[in-house]
């Protein structure tokens, strides 16, 4: 497996272009299953997860083409050949379950394997199942597959989510566009990726109100058309690269960044004494002389602090002045990076869903292992400031969510390289 080698101690300076959002693209791509007409996505990130979703859609009979070096994905589902999402593909990625709602809505039946992805928590499918059952679906779990069907098509209803699940909101939002009557999603997720999906569906002819709030109303239509839609900026990649100059020192402008995507995250940076300013092209982050201040962080659904930035924030707080407490309220198993940071000299105590980080003045490079996607990049960030060399192993997780990390960080002065598997 490939690894990433980082030589720490060099301040950063320059610009980093932020890609389109992985989590938005992975919800937008299954939307093609709702229509016979073409759907084209621009500003698409070039990631292994996008390739996996491409393979899944193609296995159903959809036509999917990657254009302009992967930044444009053109899709057509005019003649699907299957409504069965096989385990061999679905096991690679959690977002594969997002084909369930669209297939049910358009064809009235679907068979979808239980999904895979990073081992960061349960992320149960029961929220998706109960949401679709509220629209009249009948779903049975047999031999690792969800067998779903409808009796005469989906029908509008009241969907009350017990947790503001992003995936469940996306699944039922897509399904409801073709359901008969009106659907109301209560306690809906409010993430920018939800808003982006709704905007795309509206371009296709869907009738949706309330996206970005906890109550979304969808009036079902008979059919959806095609559209061309730009994928929203990746707020997690944005936050990750905003932390790079905080950890390594220096100044970096993140092109395409928007404050509204990362407000709660920026508030914590500012509380830590970091300067963040909006520019015409994006967001600029500058680390003044001295160490950042310790801050406490609690992960919450949007607009709260993102769980997908917790690991990266921990890497920064390892070198902060004082003691920080991070409370993880989204996923119960998301501190697996803490022992690896400890190998680099970090002082971290983990008790259940809480991590206490006692800031140290310096860290030292070491051999470390990536345990999941966000942990991978947190170790790379820590390596930017560590003395000597840090080698991050098992970075196949990294390529699921970050395109060309070594090029983007290398372009602003980091000493970083990928070591290819022999």
pLDDT surpasses 70 at 122: no
Query: What's the whole-number mean pLDDT along residues 304-308?
Result: 95
pLDDT at 397: 84
Query: What's the whole-number mean pLDDT along residues 319-333?
Result: 90
Take residue 89 and report the two structure tokens written for it: 């593909």
Query: What's the whole-number mean pLDDT along residues 120-143?
Result: 83
What pLDDT band is residue 332 in, cutting at 50, 70 and 90?
A: low
Counting every residue written for the chain, the total comes to: 422
**pLDDT above 70 covers what percent of the chain?**
97
What pLDDT band is residue 95 in, cutting at 50, 70 and 90?
A: confident
Question: What CA–CA distances, in Å, run from 258 to 56, 69, 284, 380?
Answer: 32, 25, 10, 24
Per the CB < 8 A criterion, the answer to whether 277 and 252 are in contact is: no
Catalytic residue among 118, 200, 254, 318: 118
CATH architecture of 22-230: Alpha-beta prism (3.65)
Q: Is 420 annotated as a binding residue?
A: no
The answer for residues whose C-beta is within 8 angstroms of residue 210's C-beta and 6 or more apart is: 188, 216, 217
pLDDT at 23: 93
What pLDDT band is residue 372 in, cutting at 50, 70 and 90?
A: confident
pLDDT surpasses 50 at 299: yes
Q: In what order do the strands lie in the sheet with 282-287?
A: 12-17, 250-255, 282-287, 275-278
Is residue 318 helix, strand or coil?
Answer: coil
What's the whole-number average pLDDT of the chain?
94
Per the CB < 8 A criterion, the answer to whether 348 and 356 are in contact is: yes
pLDDT surpasses 80 at 288: no
Q: Is 4 annotated as a binding residue?
A: no
pLDDT at 313: 97
pLDDT at 421: 79
Q: What is the DSSP string of 37-80?
A: S-EEEES----HHHHHHHHHHHHTT-EEEEEGGGTEEEEE-TT-
Query: What's the whole-number mean pLDDT along residues 62-68?
Result: 96
CA distance 273 to 394: 34
Q: Rounded to the nearest 5°, which phi and psi values hold at 28?
A: -70, -35
What pLDDT band is residue 124 in, cutting at 50, 70 and 90?
A: low
Per the CB < 8 A criterion, the answer to whether 173 and 208 are in contact is: yes
Beta-bridge partner residues of 85: 112
Q: What is the DSSP string of 187-198?
A: S----HHHHHHH
Q: Is 330 annotated as a binding residue?
A: yes
Query: Is CATH 3.30.9.10 the right assignment for the domain spanning 3-18+233-419?
Result: no
pLDDT surpasses 80 at 369: yes
> pTM of the predicted model, to two decimals?
0.92
pLDDT surpasses 90 at 371: no
Q: In what order do the strands lie in the sheet with 72-76?
A: 63-67, 72-76, 39-42, 227-230
Beta-bridge partner residues of 324: 357
pLDDT at 104: 97
Is position 118 annotated as part of the catalytic site? Answer: yes
Take residue 383 and report the two structure tokens written for it: 């390596």
What pLDDT band is residue 422 in, cutting at 50, 70 and 90?
A: low
pLDDT surpasses 70 at 40: yes
Q: Rounded to the nearest 10 degrees, how much is the dihedral formed by the CA atoms of 356, 358, 362, 366?
A: -30
The answer for residues whose C-beta is within 8 angstroms of residue 196's C-beta and 6 or more apart is: 21, 24, 27, 28, 231, 232
Same fold, 3-18+233-419 and 22-230: yes
Query: What's the whole-number mean pLDDT along residues 14-37?
Result: 97
Q: What is the DSSP string of 197-260?
A: HHHHHHHTT-EEE-TTSSEEEEE--S-B--EEEEPPB-HHHHHHHHHHHHHH-EEEEEET--GG
Q: Is 334 annotated as a binding residue?
A: no
Beta-bridge partner residues of 20: 233
The answer for residues whose C-beta is within 8 angstroms of residue 347's C-beta and 6 or more apart is: 318, 357, 358, 359, 360
- Pairing mode, if any, of strands 297-298 and 158-160? unpaired
The number of helices, as runs of H, and strands, as runs of E, in the chain is: 13, 24
Domain ranges of the chain: 3-18+233-419, 22-230
CA distance 356 to 337: 13
Q: In what order do the strands lie in the sheet with 347-351?
A: 297-298, 323-327, 354-358, 347-351
What pLDDT band is residue 76 in, cutting at 50, 70 and 90?
A: very high
Query: What's the whole-number mean pLDDT along residues 96-112?
Result: 96
Q: How do residues 236-287 score in pLDDT, each as one tens digit?
A: 999 999 999 999 999 999 999 999 999 999 999 999 999 999 999 999 999 8
What pLDDT band is residue 120 in, cutting at 50, 70 and 90?
A: very low
CA distance 310 to 332: 13
**pLDDT above 90 covers what percent of the chain?**
85
pLDDT surpasses 70 at 334: yes
Q: Is 308 annotated as a binding residue?
A: yes
What pLDDT band is residue 1 in, cutting at 50, 70 and 90?
A: confident
Beta-bridge partner residues of 255: 17, 282
Q: How do residues 167-201 score in pLDDT, each as one tens digit?
A: 999 999 999 999 999 999 999 999 999 999 999 99
Query: What's the whole-number mean pLDDT along residues 333-350?
Result: 93
pLDDT at 73: 98
């Amino acid at each position: 497996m490939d690894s990433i080698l980082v030589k720490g101690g060099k301040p950063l300076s320059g610009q980093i272009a932020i890609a389109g959002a992985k989590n938005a693209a992975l919800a937008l791509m299954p939307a093609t299953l709702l229509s016979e007409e073409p759907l084209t996505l621009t500003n698409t990130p070039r990631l292994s997860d996008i390739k996996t979703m491409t393979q899944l859609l193609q296995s159903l009979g959809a036509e999917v083409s990657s254009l302009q070096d992967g930044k444009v994905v053109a899709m057509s589902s005019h003649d699907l050949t299957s409504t069965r999402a096989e385990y061999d593909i679905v096991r690679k990625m959690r977002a594969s379950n997002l084909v369930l709602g669209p297939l049910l809505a358009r064809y009235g039946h679907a068979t979808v394997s239980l999904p895979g992805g990073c081992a960061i928590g349960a992320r149960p499918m029961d929220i998706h199942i109960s949401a679709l059952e509220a629209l009249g679906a009948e779903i049975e779990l047999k031999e690792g597959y969800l067998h779903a069907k409808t009796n005469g098509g989906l029908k509008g209803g009241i969907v009350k989510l017990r947790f503001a699940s992003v995936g469940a909101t996306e699944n039922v939002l897509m399904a409801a566009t073709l359901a008969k009557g009106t659907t109301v999603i209560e306690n809906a997720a409010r993430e920018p990726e939800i808003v982006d999906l709704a905007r795309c569906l509206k371009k296709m002819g869907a009738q949706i109100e309330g996206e970005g709030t906890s109550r979304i109303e969808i009036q079902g239509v008979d059919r959806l058309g095609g559209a061309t839609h730009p994928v929203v900026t990746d707020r997690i990649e944005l936050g990750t690269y905003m932390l790079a100059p905080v950890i390594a020192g220096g100044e970096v402008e993140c092109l395409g960044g928007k404050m509204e995507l990362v407000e709660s995250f920026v508030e914590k940076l500012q509380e830590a004494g970091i300067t963040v300013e909006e520019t015409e092209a994006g967001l600029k982050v500058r680390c003044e002389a001295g160490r950042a201040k310790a801050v406490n962080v609690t992960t919450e659904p949007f607009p709260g602090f993102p769980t997908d930035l917790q690991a990266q924030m921990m890497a920064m707080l390892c070198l902060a002045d004082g003691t920080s407490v991070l409370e993880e309220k989204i996923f119960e198993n998301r501190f697996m990076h803490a022992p690896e940071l400890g190998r680099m000299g970090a002082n971290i105590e983990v008790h259940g869903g809480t991590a206490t980080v006692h800031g140290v003045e310096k860290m030292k490079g070491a051999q470390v292992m990536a345990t999941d996607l966000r942990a991978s990049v947190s170790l790379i960030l820590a390596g930017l400031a560590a003395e000597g060399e840090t080698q991050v192993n098992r970075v196949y997780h990294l390529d699921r969510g970050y395109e060309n990390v070594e090029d983007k960080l290398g372009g602003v002065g980091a000493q970083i390289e990928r070591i290819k598997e022999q």
